[in-house]
Chain A
Amino acid sequence: MPIFKPDVETLGRKELRELQIEKLQIVVNQAYANVDFYRRKFDEAGLSPDDIKNLDDLGKIPFTTRKDLMDNYPYGMFAVPLRDVVRLQFPLGLHGNPIVIGYTREDLKIWRELVARIMVGIGVTEHDIIQVAFNYGLFMGAIRFNQSAELIGAAVVPSSIASADVQIRIMQDFRSTVLTSTPSFAVHIMENVKRKGLDPKTLSLKTGLFGAEPWPESVRRALEENLGIRAYDIYGVMELIEPGVAGECPARKGLHIFEDHFLPEIVNPQTGGVKGEGEEGELVLTTLTTGAYPLLRYRTSDVTALHSTPCDCGRTLIRMDRALRRTDQMISVRGINVFPEKITEVLATIPDAGPGYALIPRTKYGMNDQLTVQVEAASRILDSREETKIAFQEAVQLAFRRALGLRVEVELMKKA
């Protein structure tokens, strides 16, 4: 398979590290000079940008957490004035203060290239027709597939969240060769293909690129068998670039992290201590080239391990294991992130509801397919007429739908 940017994707590890230290020093200089938050953090730690002389010095820099991003909402983490920012994005479903991520023109260009690297790496060419079945409203990364596909010269069909029937019809009529979506939506499409008794060989699909939620190998096998595709994983972090941090290559022995733009580390989620190669822990990323929103040692909450042993595909970029677990309590339901803190927040706005609750996800193929929220309700609700109970239940359901962008089942329970 071709490599989009061989000069960096196959660069020797030593040369890559030299390039990284150069870029790390620059991003630290920028962050210290332009972001008050980082200046304060450095000063408090008694650290100067001049202390970052080698990649080993990275560990001296304090972590950045999601809470930091929230505390500095809206523009406190920006390294450039708003006038240099050409896009402002805010991930939905977060709790507390929202966060907003700014991108300069250059940042968007980098992002576009990174997803294109993944696409080219798995064989997408200008002859392909890419069906993008991500939710464009909820998933900020969806639009990226358009721009990256267009960069390669492939044709894009933004089918978004059209029904499975429509998706299949598009696949048949347009002869889509690549499907990109959440793995759960792909499974939903797959089940409808089966239900219709369609032979996958009659479809033109050959490649699947799935992400935005964890999906086990069993799902990969099912999708490949039933849709006649090779399925690949793509990884992003909503607070940096989603997707586009890493992607699988044909060897599928982990996802190559684009180390010319991100510096990865694995740390012990409890102690913050840096772990060695091959050891599992929390992925921490430092942006090396981001202009508007540089993040130093950002705690992603994703659990993985890193491997730099040579890859069959020829890339020298480090590989991360597929991120299937989290260090926080966030769960993903059909690709939508649900934070328990958000549930608490929603319940606090509804009289007679909460504070206790339980989340009961229903899984299909090992992925969360549906979420039931058992909510504590005041006895005056529970003891009232059936209609009142149903109305209350529906009100809670609507509140969740508004807050999460997800339809959940609501069950009422007695206060403990």
Chain B
Amino acid sequence: MLKIKNIDAFFGKIQVLRHVSLHIEAGEIVSLIGANGAGKTTLLNVISGLHPSPNGSRVFLGVETRSLRPERIVALGLIQVPEADKVFSPLSVLENLELGAYIRRGDPRALKKNMEEIFRLFPVLEERKEQPAALLSGGERQMLALGKALMGSPRLLLLDEPSLGLAPTVVAEIFQTIRSLHERGTTILLVEQNARDALRISRRAYVLDTGRITLTGAGEELIGNEEVKRAFLGKDYRGKWER
């Protein structure tokens, strides 16, 4: 579904991504894990067309998206749920959701159907649909952010740290939601610092370490992998002979 190859990215002169290549098949949950500053969010932004990448290719559903503007990429069905500024606080829940469907405007029936489905998925949003988003709890705001993205009928959903700053019980709920989104047929690229939970629900995963992909494998297999831990904590041994 998505194939990216040799992606570089820079902030000024600092290179934050180095020839990153990865792929996602339709129907997969793939997670991208790595420490703070590894370049995960930048990679998502490159895929969404929000951050420039001077080279490499990124093909979504057979379309090279390098030269496409972000809104065209969204229209193809590639939708990112960003980490910060997830929702528009002064606007109501309903208005937020409608904004998510901006790209699909002109088909009120499909819109309504989408909205109903999102309310089935997140009953709490329906209960609070008239309230300003500012009054929602952290978990509810994350659900609204997801709901907003779903209003755009994504084929591929890019989730950037959906569990960030949430209480453990809420985190479990969010991961459960991601799982059910996947079961509904949405392909997901999940960026997480919460590696354990992410790997548990992922079919495959990539580890990003200071701008480079250093490991890949099945999600379950990477859970106990020491290299994954080292990617987060840095080198934890002095010599190869240490046991």
When distances are taken between beta carbons in the complex, the residues of chain A under 8 Å from B217 are 106
- The 8 Å CB contact of B226, one of A26, A50, A83, is A83
Chain B, residues 229-243, CB within 8 Å of chain A (1/0): the string is 000000001011111
Chain A, residues 57-89, CB within 8 Å of chain B (1/0): the string is 000000000000000000110101111100000
When distances are taken between beta carbons in the complex, the residues of chain A under 8 Å from B18 are 49-50
| Alpha-carbon gap, A21 to B227, bound state (A) | 21
When distances are taken between beta carbons in the complex, the residues of chain A under 8 Å from B215 are 26, 30
When distances are taken between beta carbons in the complex, the residues of chain A under 8 Å from B212 are 29, 49
Expressed in whole angstroms, the minimum distance between the Cβ of B55 and any Cβ of chain A is 9
Tell me if A29 and B213 are in contact (CB < 8 A). yes
When distances are taken between beta carbons in the complex, the residues of chain B under 8 Å from A33 are 209, 214
Tell me if A82 and B226 are in contact (CB < 8 A). no
Tell me if B214 and A75 are in contact (CB < 8 A). no
Expressed in whole angstroms, the minimum distance between the Cβ of A361 and any Cβ of chain B is 40
Say yes or no for A243: interface residue by CB 8 A criterion: no
Tell me if A18 and B227 are in contact (CB < 8 A). no
> Which among A21, A78, A83, A109 has the highest number of chain B CB atoms within 10 Å?
A83
Tell me if A80 and B226 are in contact (CB < 8 A). yes
Residue ID in chain B nearest A79 by CB atoms = B227
When distances are taken between beta carbons in the complex, the residues of chain B under 8 Å from A106 are 217, 221, 225
Say yes or no for B104: interface residue by CB 8 A criterion: no
Expressed in whole angstroms, the minimum distance between the Cβ of B66 and any Cβ of chain A is 15
Contact A22 to B237, CB < 8 A, known contacts A53-B19, A81-B242, A83-B242: no
Contact A18 to B226, CB < 8 A, known contacts A29-B212, A83-B237, A106-B217: no
Q: How large is the interface on B (under 10, 10 to 19, 20 to 34, 35 or more residues)?
A: 20 to 34
Residue ID in chain B nearest A85 by CB atoms = B243
Tell me if B21 and A21 are in contact (CB < 8 A). yes
Chain B, residues 15-53, CB within 8 Å of chain A (1/0): the string is 000110111000000000000000000000000000000
When distances are taken between beta carbons in the complex, the residues of chain B under 8 Å from A164 are none
When distances are taken between beta carbons in the complex, the residues of chain A under 8 Å from B242 are 81-83
> Which among B18, B209, B212, B240 has the highest number of chain A CB atoms within 10 Å?
B240
Say yes or no for A155: interface residue by CB 8 A criterion: no
Chain B, residues 173-193, CB within 8 Å of chain A (1/0): the string is 000000000000000000000
Tell me if B237 and A26 are in contact (CB < 8 A). no
Name A's interface SS: helix
| Alpha-carbon gap, A83 to B242, bound state (A) | 6
Chain A, residues 77-106, CB within 8 Å of chain B (1/0): the string is 010111110000000000000000000001
Q: How large is the interface on A (under 10, 10 to 19, 20 to 34, 35 or more residues)?
A: 20 to 34
When distances are taken between beta carbons in the complex, the residues of chain B under 8 Å from A291 are 227
| Alpha-carbon gap, A23 to B243, bound state (A) | 28
When distances are taken between beta carbons in the complex, the residues of chain A under 8 Å from B221 are 106, 109
Contact A81 to B240, CB < 8 A, known contacts A26-B216, A53-B6, A291-B227: yes
Expressed in whole angstroms, the minimum distance between the Cβ of B13 and any Cβ of chain A is 15
Contact A82 to B214, CB < 8 A, known contacts A19-B23, A50-B18, A53-B6: no
Residue ID in chain B nearest A23 by CB atoms = B216
Tell me if B241 and A80 are in contact (CB < 8 A). no
Expressed in whole angstroms, the minimum distance between the Cβ of A198 and any Cβ of chain B is 47
Tell me if B23 and A82 are in contact (CB < 8 A). no
Chain A, residues 23-34, CB within 8 Å of chain B (1/0): the string is 101100110010
Tell me if B22 and A22 are in contact (CB < 8 A). yes
Which residues of A, 106-121, contact B by the 8 Å Cβ criterion?
106, 109
| Alpha-carbon gap, A19 to B216, bound state (A) | 11
* 17 residue pairs from A and B, CB less than 8 Å apart: A18-B3, A19-B23, A21-B5, A21-B21, A22-B213, A29-B209, A29-B214, A33-B214, A49-B18, A81-B226, A81-B240, A82-B241, A83-B242, A84-B227, A106-B225, A109-B221, A291-B227
A: residues with CB less than 8 A from B are 18-19, 21-23, 25-26, 29-30, 33, 49-50, 52-53, 75-76, 78, 80-84, 106, 109, 291
| Known A21-B5, A23-B216, A53-B6; further 12 A-B contacts with Cβ < 8 A | A22-B22, A22-B213, A25-B19, A25-B21, A26-B215, A78-B240, A81-B237, A81-B240, A82-B242, A82-B243, A83-B242, A106-B221
Give the 7 A-B residue pairs with the shortest CB-CB distance, closest first. A81-B237, A75-B240, A83-B243, A22-B21, A29-B212, A84-B226, A53-B6
